[in-house]
Structures are given as structure tokens and as C-alpha cells.
A = this chain, B = another copy of it.
Amino acid sequence: MVNIINGSVLAKKIRGQVAEDIGRLKKERGVSPKLCVVLVGDDPASQIYVRNKEKACAEVGIESEICRLPASIDEKNLINIVKKLNSDANIHGILVQLPLPDTISAINVLNEIAEVKDVDGLHPINMGKLLKGESPLFLPCTAEGIIELILSTGTEIRGKEAVVVGRSNIVGKPVALMLLQRHATVTICHSRTRDLGAVTKRANILVASVGSAGIVHGEMVKDGAIVIDVGMNRVAGKLTGDVDFESASEKAAYITPVPGGVGPMTIAMLMKNGYLAAKRAA
């Protein structure tokens, strides 16, 4: 019988803890955490994401400011704005909402964010420290959320075979490193992997993060595996994961649903990073 890992409940618990920590920080140190979200242009999906972040911030007691900029802004001016936010002592964390307009290099802009304000944990200096095991200031939110979901099952990661499908900078690569650091034997698969099913079937811990609806089905899952579904695919107006939930549930011991699995964890970890940024600045 499969156990469904309830990401919404775990995320709520984490946000509750963060809210409590923030309350203490305000009371004892007089510091009120503040994030600034830089939003360029009027991409409708970005508008929704930013609104969700604003809401989540408000709930845990983080002040948020949206810096809205026209799609016509050039890279140099955008970088100058990031630099200004870096030196603004009232702002503890900076988020640049992606995608940026085609005329702007996202890499150039994101790499300007100060290490201490990189609450997304995606700056090369924080990613480099993650790679080297040198305690980065922030961990990438989704990857950290996935580790929390796995730990919540009570399963020991050490010595397990973990397979990560997908090699993105935001999820696949950082979660692979975090599993490696916790002593799993880690395999990273991707679109060029031959016989994906044979590889995923080795996994005691399987993380699917490719953005392809239902690509991982039951036959590809090992009996008793933990299956973490990072996919957020819209199919016929419905949100669907990368895992075929029904068939995978017949094999897995634990599985995350979509929605209500990884999604809520990402934002909870972002709130935690916002708190950490403010605490360090206090």
C-alpha cells in the first residue's frame, strides 16, 4: 500500500516554524525581514508566481517589495538596479523573476546578486559551495524541499541508490549533489539516457524532474521506492506531474502527488531562506 507524502502539510509546518522564528527575530533583534522581487515585463505566469510569493511572505511576516520594470529595460540598467538592491541594508533577499526578455542575459543579471542576498540559492558562488560541500549560505529551494520530503518518510538516504531524472540547475543537479552529500549512490539521467526505465528501476529514491507529463510510469519504478514528482505540466488545463501517479503508486512505498507535493515545499524553503538572510544581517 503506497503512502502519499503530503507536501502541503509539511510545507505548512515549515512555514509555521519560519513565522515563529521571524516573530522572535523581530521581537529580540528588531529586524524585519524584507525580500525584493524584481519583475521585468508582464508575462502572465510570472505575475502569478510573484503574487504567490507576496502572499507567502505576508503569511510568515516577511515584508515584500515588487520592483516592476518595463520589458524595454536593458541589461545594464537592470544590473544597476540589482546592485542598488545589494547595497540597500533594508533588503535582505533579492529574487529576479524569470524569464527575462530575450535581449537580457539572465546569467549576467543573476550573477550580480550578492551572495548574502541570494535567497534562491542559485548564484554560482552558492552553487559552487554546494558542489564542494562548503556550506553555501542558501540552498536552491526546490532541491532542499525535495530532501525534506524524503526525510519526512523516515527513510535513511545513506547507501541508497538515488536516481534523478533531469539535470536542471534549479532542481536536478543540486538535488543530486544533496543526495550525494547524504551518502546516496546517485545517478543523473536525462533526455540522452538510453533505456531510461532500466535506470529508474534501480532507484530506491527516484526524483523525476524533466517537465514531461507522465514520463515515469509504474513499470519504471522499483518495488518499495520513494518517488518524488517535481513535474508541473499543464495537460488539458489540469496540472500533471512527470510521474504517472496511478501506475507508480502500485510499486512505490512513498509518492508525492501533483499538486500538493513538491510545489508547496519550494515556497516554504524560500521563506526559510528569507528568514536566514535577515537573521544573518541582524
| A interface residues, Cβ below 8 angstroms from B | 107, 111, 122-134, 158-159, 167, 169, 173, 177, 180, 183, 185-190, 192-194, 199
A125 CB contact (under 8 Å) in B124, B167, B183: B124
Copies in the complex: 2
Supply 11 further A-B pairs (C-beta < 8 A) apart from A131-B173, A132-B173.
Answer: A111-B134, A122-B132, A125-B125, A128-B128, A128-B130, A131-B131, A158-B192, A173-B180, A183-B190, A185-B187, A185-B193
| Shortest distance from the beta carbon of A237 to any chain B beta carbon, whole Å | 33
> For residue A124, which residues in chain B have a CB less than 8 angstroms away from its CB?
124-125, 128-129, 131-132, 134
* Bound form: Cα–Cα A199–B159 in Å: 12
Interface majority SS on A: helix, strand, loop or mixed? Answer: mixed
> For residue A127, which residues in chain B have a CB less than 8 angstroms away from its CB?
128, 131-132
A187 CB contact (under 8 Å) in B132, B167, B186: B186
* Cβ contacts A to B, 5 pairs, < 8 Å: A128-B130, A131-B177, A185-B190, A187-B187, A187-B188
Q: Are the C-beta atoms of A186 and B188 separated by less than 8 Å?
A: yes
Q: Are the C-beta atoms of B159 and A192 separated by less than 8 Å?
A: yes
Q: Are the C-beta atoms of B159 and A194 separated by less than 8 Å?
A: yes
Which 10 pairs from chain A and chain B are nearest by CB? A128-B128, A124-B128, A127-B128, A183-B192, A187-B187, A185-B193, A132-B169, A124-B129, A131-B131, A127-B131
| Shortest distance from the beta carbon of A141 to any chain B beta carbon, whole Å | 16
Instruction: Given A123-B128, A124-B128, answer yes or no on A180-B167 (Cβ-Cβ < 8 Å).
Output: yes
> For residue A125, which residues in chain B have a CB less than 8 angstroms away from its CB?
124-125, 128
* Bound form: Cα–Cα A167–B177 in Å: 10
